[in-house]
Amino acid sequence: MYARRKHLYFAMMGLCIGLFVLAWAVVRLWSVPAAVAMCVVAMVIPPVAAIVANRRGPEDRWWDDPSGDARSDEWWDELDGKKRRRP
């Protein structure tokens, strides 16, 4: 799931860079308003890409969900102050 989100993020960011380059290298020769519109669309893509890349999937572990590994869960509980460390 993480790999798919990462690929989608990089595809969206590549599209963003492509729109900027295409707008000012090619499209501006024919229509400056169209180039500006392309840049406005490209400006919206990075926040959307960040949201897509950082959303939690249904099978992703949330920060306080137990992982199933008792030793790891005990360590995280100790860091969170939920349990006291045994001497």
Residue-wise pLDDT tens digits, 44-56: 999 999 998 888 7
Provide the pLDDT for residue 37: 96
As a whole number of angstroms, the distance between CA 64 and CA 73 comes to: 9
Cβ partners under 8 Å of residue 21, min gap 6: none
Return the sign of the alpha-carbon dihedral for residues 59, 63, 65, 71: positive
At 11-69, the pLDDT tens digits run 999 999 999 999 999 999 999 999 999 999 999 999 999 998 888 776 666 666 667 78
Q: Is the pLDDT of residue 76 over 90?
A: no
CB atoms near residue 35 (< 10 Å):
20
